[in-house]
Amino acid sequence: MSKVFDVAEVAQHNSSKSCWVILYGKVYDVTNFVADHPGGAKVILRLAGKDATEEFDPVHPAGTLEESLKPEALLGTVDLTTVPKKADESATAQPVQEHPPVEALLNLAEIEQLGTAKISKKAWGYYYSAADDKLSKRWNTEAYRSILLRPRVFIDCQECSLETKLLGNEVSMPLYVSPAAQARLAHPTGEAGIAEACRSFGTLQIISNSASMTPEQIVEHASPNQIFGWQLYVQDDRTRSEKMIARINQLKMIKFIVLTLDSPVMGKREDDMRGGNVLDELTEEHDKDFSKKAQDKQVFFGLDPTLTWTETLGWLSKHTSLPIIIKGVQTHEDAYIASLHRPQVQGVILSNHGGRSLDTAPPALHTLVEIRKYCPEVFDKIEVWVDGGVRRGTDVVKALCLGAKGVGIGRPPLFGLAAGGPDGVKRVLQILTDETKTCMRLLGVQRVDQLGIQHVNTRMLEQQIFDGPSGLEACRAAHLSKL
């Protein structure tokens, strides 16, 4: 570690045969690690021989280096005097654009607009993108808009409270922050910045398995009664997941695990691919030298595509006693099967992954209405949450009217973070809180448990809902036979 390299020497190790990188002023030999990089070999090779700190930092939580590399990979430090200075960008830069304060923003569209202006094209590509032609992303929003509300008059609405329980935990509102990766691309406070905003509002937050900070860092400053969930993508190297679960089990603020199933392979997010985000390098086809390991590049590096109800839930039960929520349910059949796994499974999140996985997958509202139609008993057995396309308080109310217990927002907190750090996220939560209360009062409703189907006209939506033969009985039979 005492060895000091100059930049020119490092620069010679710029291929898959000998691959060095500079990170935080230290020099690492990652030649043997390249093929195992969960983010793909190509990302590293592009930075081989260079200082990779700027690319590495915002997308890797603390401890990543230590976990990934053997001690001997650390070769020494770099002689900082040999690092060429960057041209002073500010000298020729455009005059800084004046942005409005987040308090002046009226709605989530304006927050997205400001957040977009403040972050890099690459970060924007990652947040904004959705699969293929973004049809599901559009459906997510349009489905809410197609529902009309039915306000009642002459009802005392002086009191109005959003308080509710999610999985038995008291929260100040039925809104929660969906798991979304890479918050540090938006703002240095990252996922902890979101947690800070949630603390102010008593809002539940689900921590992404691909967060850019460790769970410990994210919950560090939480208030005593703050509630978190943690998202699990099961790794094909199960021991990695088991280690993470063991850490999660130690964090008492984390009350449940969100097992995410809607992305066994990654959707084709073209805006992101154009921006060149690291995650999307995974789909790169031309990474010849290192392709032997992955049987098919479409499968996530490191993600286990072989999950099944029986095997996976059985494995999970050995490693945690936290309740499980299944995220990514998109048919009434799967919601029904999930309900058969109570009590281990205590909820489902109807989600098409923000339209990011399979284009023309149904919006969560469709699945919600489908469950009402085919197997409403699911609502009695487990909690049904939804996410995707929620941009207004009226959207929150509509989902609740149709039976959802929790309503998730994914992109808005990220764009809020981009727009103004933790204050931007607070602005998002404030706007939605105000809009939701206004909506409830105008409907003549004081508490969320008073909302019901009598408050919505879903006539137009109903005309789009699946009405083919239900696979319910087949699912049940298939499931039972495996037990």
The residue from 187, 341, 353, 366 that is catalytic is 353
Taking CB under 8 A as the criterion, which residues in 142-171 touch a second copy? 145, 147-158, 160
* Residue 200 interacting with a second copy (CB under 8 A): no
CB nearer to a second copy: pick between 253 and 365? 365
For the four alpha carbons of 371, 375, 376 and 382, in that order, the dihedral sign comes to negative
Is 270 near a second copy (CB under 8 A)?
A: yes
Chain residues 320-349 in contact with a second copy, contact rule CB under 8 A: 326, 328-331, 333-334, 337
Q: Out of 248, 443, 448, 451, point to the residue binding a second copy (CB under 8 A).
A: 443
Answer yes or no: are the C-beta atoms of 166 and 204 closer than 8 Å. yes
* Only segment of 209-217, 375-383, 412-420, 432-440 that touches a second copy (CB under 8 A): 432-440
C-alpha dihedral over 135, 112, 172, 335, to 10 degrees?
10
**∠ CA 148-151-154 to the nearest 5 degrees?**
170
Site string (375-414) toward a second copy, x via CB under 8 A? -----------------x-x--------------------
**Residue 233 known to be catalytic:** yes
Task: Based on the shown chain and the rule CB under 8 A, indicate whether residue 312 belongs to the binding site for a second copy.
Answer: yes
User: Can you tell me the distance from the alpha carbon of 345 to that of 353, in angstroms, rounded to the nearest whole number?
Assistant: 20
Examine residue 18 and tell whether it contacts a second copy (CB under 8 A).
no
Least CB distance to a second copy at residue 203 (A) = 17
Contacts of 106 (CB under 8 A, 6+ apart): 431
**According to the binding rule CB under 8 A, does residue 221 interact with a second copy?**
no
Residues that contact a second copy, how many (by CB under 8 A): 88
Would residue 262 show up in a list of annotated catalytic residues for this protein? yes
Taking CB under 8 A as the rule, does residue 308 contact a second copy?
yes
| Paired sense of beta strands 345-350 and 324-329, if any | parallel
Distances (CA, A) of 375 to 318, 324, 352, 397, 434: 30, 21, 20, 22, 33
What is residue 24's DSSP assignment? T
Q: Is 11 an interacting residue with respect to a second copy (CB under 8 A)?
A: no
65 binds a second copy (CB under 8 A): no
In the list 82, 460, 473, 477, the residue contacting a second copy (rule: CB under 8 A) is 460
**Smaller CB separation from a second copy, 319 or 441:** 441
Indicate whether 264 belongs to the interface with a second copy (CB under 8 A). Answer: yes
* Residue from 357, 381, 385, 425 in contact with a second copy (CB under 8 A): 357
Residue 319 falls in the annotated catalytic set: no
Residue 50 is encoded by which pair of tokens? 């260079």
Q: Which of 223, 250, 306, 317 binds a second copy (CB under 8 A)?
A: 306
Regarding 295 and contact with a second copy (CB under 8 A), the answer is yes
User: Does residue 359 touch a second copy according to CB under 8 A?
Assistant: yes
Residues numbered 98 to 127 that lie near a second copy (CB under 8 A) are: 103, 106-107
Using the rule CB under 8 A, is 465 a contact of a second copy? yes
Tokens 């990089």 belong to residue: 37
Angle 11-12-18 from CA coordinates, rounded to 5°: 110
**End-to-end CA, the chain:** 55
Cα dihedral 451, 454, 460, 462, rounded to 10, equals: 90
**Residue 446 burial (10 A CB sphere; 0-12, 13-18, 19+):** middle
Q: Is 242 in the site for a second copy (CB under 8 A)?
A: no
177 phi, psi to nearest 5 deg: -90, 120
Tokens matching residue 316: 């999970």
Q: Among residues 128, 176, 233, 374, which one is catalytic?
A: 233
Binding a second copy (rule: CB under 8 A), the pick from 25, 168, 188, 305 is 305
Q: In the chain, count of helices (H) and strands (E)?
A: 21, 16
Contact region with a second copy (CB under 8 A), list: 5-13, 179-187, 224-232, 262-270: 262-270
- The CB-side HSE value for 65 (13 A sphere, CA atoms) comes to 18
| C-alpha dist (Å) from residue 344 to 201, 341, 473 | 29, 6, 22
Binding piece for a second copy, criterion CB under 8 A, among 8-16, 70-78, 196-204, 352-360:
352-360
For a second copy, which is the closer residue by CB, 22 or 365? Answer: 365
Site stretch for a second copy (CB under 8 A), options 37-45, 120-128, 129-137, 410-418? 129-137
- Least distance between a second copy and beta carbon 56 (Å): 25
Task: Quote the Cα angle for 430-434-440, to 5°.
Answer: 145
Q: Which of 56, 176, 230, 309 binds a second copy (CB under 8 A)?
A: 309
Catalytic site positions: 233, 262, 353
